[in-house]
Structure 1
Amino acid sequence: MNVSIAPPITAQVPDFKIAVLSYEDITIGPSPQMLRGRLDFFQENIKADLLDHEITAYEGVREWREVFQTLGISPSKYRPSHEALFRRVAKHEAIPNLHSAVDINNFFSLQYEFPSGIYDTDQLQGAITLRFGREDETFTGINGRSNRAAGKIVTADDLGPFGSPIVDSERTKTTENTTRALQIFYLQPSLSVNQAAKLADAAAGMFTQLHGGNASVQIIPAETKEHDA
């Protein structure tokens, strides 16, 4: 799948990069106890950590707040989605279990400390670009609200924005009927390409172990070529 990052973003954050994980022939269902247990255990560890530390003690939270500030986006008004998860856990509000694809996506966001989105590939049309939202663009988020895209980072296809490091869209959400999925890791710029590739390969392996099918991984922008995970 053709995925790119618009130059105005990399002009301001030269090391900006994403991991694109493509899955085929997968089966999504209720999360097994193993995944639910790992997610619950991780949340308990975060609660314990935050008794003595601020959320910004997490490097990935702090770095993404800096990215937003560099790009002219208020991280207090529009929180990166992984920070929103951390803050929910800090308030002792459990992250709900939805289905295996969403639950493992949330697990990756907490484990690796970056925004992560997962989308139904069959609901996407044309090339995909990570860019700034345009003044007239809106999309209905999985939060049920209409979200203005202007000035924010969005991931868009030919039909318009469908995702972002803040909130994803209702249009492209995965369900238990999804058999092809696209997962995007909005990586910390400080990660090297090699670090990002190893991380994404490990995540893709965990995803396909749970859902079957096969995966391919690409780091964008990068000089490395696409490879099987």
Structure 2
Amino acid sequence: MSSVRPLITPQIATQAPGFRALSICVKAAPLINPGFAEKALADACQVVMSNEPAWAKVHLGAWAEVFRRFGAKPQRTPCSAEALRKRVLRDAGLPSIDPIVDLYNAISLEYAVPVGGENLATYVGTPRLVIADGSELFDTVKEGQTVNESPEPGEVVWRDDVGVTCRRWNWRQGIRTRLSSDATRMWFILESLPQMPLDALQEAGGRLVEGLGIMMPGALVEQELIGAKVG
């Protein structure tokens, strides 16, 4: 199994002191129990509405402050976990999208943590978290058409050798690397700040791996805790 170790530019340590993430690489197996994800998503929505972790709002508030620090407006472009939470509170649930997407959205909601899911086979080079200079390209959809746009200079983005794969840290994913249940190589990144206990981050990763094993028995998994370093 070929794995990947994402790179984090040292400047991230000044944007988000104490940032750490759990990187999970998966060699997929046939999907035989997709219904597990739909139930997990429904259960996670109930957690948001009635029994979220004590530290959840503080953690999401810390993400909002990090977004402000690099020039984003979290009220308009919140972190992915906050965006999901707002939809659940507004609509009393989330619609099913895809079994794999539903599963990682469920983990994001239940643990108030941004979770990204990427089709690793579409990556060119190593995923890396960097400060954009504004010249990078990002593929997205506007008015039903695929278009390329560029991040703002100074914006925190995930990218590979081709271009940006996720804008405003974890706000919006690009099209090229988007994950679905037919992918053969998957990469998940669970991103946390110190306001989320480290054991909760590790528990969230364990729940994701457990769910993948139920849905795809025989899937191979590698995971690693990573963090920004000043240097």
- Secondary structure of the structure 1 residue equivalent to 2:130: strand
| Contact map agreement 2:16 2:193 (CA 8 A) in 1 | no
Q: What's the offset of the Cα at 1:198?
A: 4.3
TM (normalized to structure 2)? 0.81
Deviation at 1:145, TM superposition (A): 6.7
Task: Tell me the secondary structure at the aligned position of residue 173 of structure 2.
Answer: coil
Q: Kindly indicate whether residue 188 of structure 2 is the aligned counterpart of residue 188 of structure 1.
A: no
| 1:22 and 2:25 correspond | yes
Q: Distance in 2 between matches of 1:192 and 1:7?
A: 22
User: Are residues 142 and 26 of structure 1, via their aligned partners in 2, closer, same or farther at CA, if it must alter by over 3 Å?
Assistant: farther
Of the structure 1 ranges 99-108 and 59-68, higher mean CA displacement relative to structure 2 is found in: 59-68
- Deviation of 1:49 (Å): 6.9
Indicate conservation of the 8 Å contact 2:15/2:70, yes or no.
yes
- Ranges in structure 2 where 5+ consecutive residues have no aligned partner: none
CA contact (8 A) 2:45 2:106 kept: no
Q: Deviations over 1:50-104 (max 9, x none)?
A: 9xxxxx9723321211221233322123211111111111211642212111000
Match of 1:218 in 2: 224
Contact 1:29 1:100 in 2 (8 A): no
Q: Identify if the C-alpha distance between structure 1 residues 101 and 147 changes in structure 2 by more than 3 Å, giving closer, same or farther.
A: farther
The structure 1 residue matched to 2:209, chosen from 204, 211, 221, is: 204
Structure-2 change in CA distance of 1:25 and 1:88 (3 Å): closer
Q: CA deviation at 1:184?
A: 0.9
Equivalent residues of 1:119, 1:181 under 8 A apart: yes
- Deviation (angstroms), 1:105: 1.1
So what's the TM-score if we normalise by structure 1? 0.81
| More RCO (CA 8 Å, sep 6+) | 2
Closer, same or farther: CA 44–13 of 1 in aligned 2, 3 Å: closer
Q: CA deviation at 1:5?
A: 0.9
Paired with 1:110 and 1:199, the residues of 2 have a C-alpha distance of 10
1:111–1:45 Cα change, 3 Å: closer
RMSD between aligned alpha carbons? 2.8
Identity, in percent, stands at 21
Q: SS at the partner of 1:131? A: strand
**1:58 counterpart SS class:** helix
1:179 counterpart (172, 180, 184) = 184
User: Which residue of structure 2 lines up, in the alignment, with residue 13 of structure 1?
Assistant: 16
**Cα drift, residue 140 of structure 1:** 2.2
- How far apart, CA to CA, are the structure 2 residues paired with 1:222 and 1:131? 11
One-letter code of the match for 2:113? Answer: F
Partners in 2 of 1:36 and 1:169 — Cα distance? 24
Give the C-alpha shift of residue 43 in structure 1.
1.9
- Are the structure 2 counterparts of residues 138 and 29 from structure 1 closer, same or farther at C-alpha, using a change threshold of 3 Å? farther
Query: Where does structure 1 lack aligned partners over 5 or more consecutive residues?
Result: 51-55, 224-229
SS at the partner of 1:217? strand
Asked if the contact 1:29/1:99 (under 8 Å) is kept, the reply is no
**1:102 and 1:174 in contact (8 A); partners too:** yes
Distance verdict in 2 for CA 1:76–1:30, change over 3 Å: farther
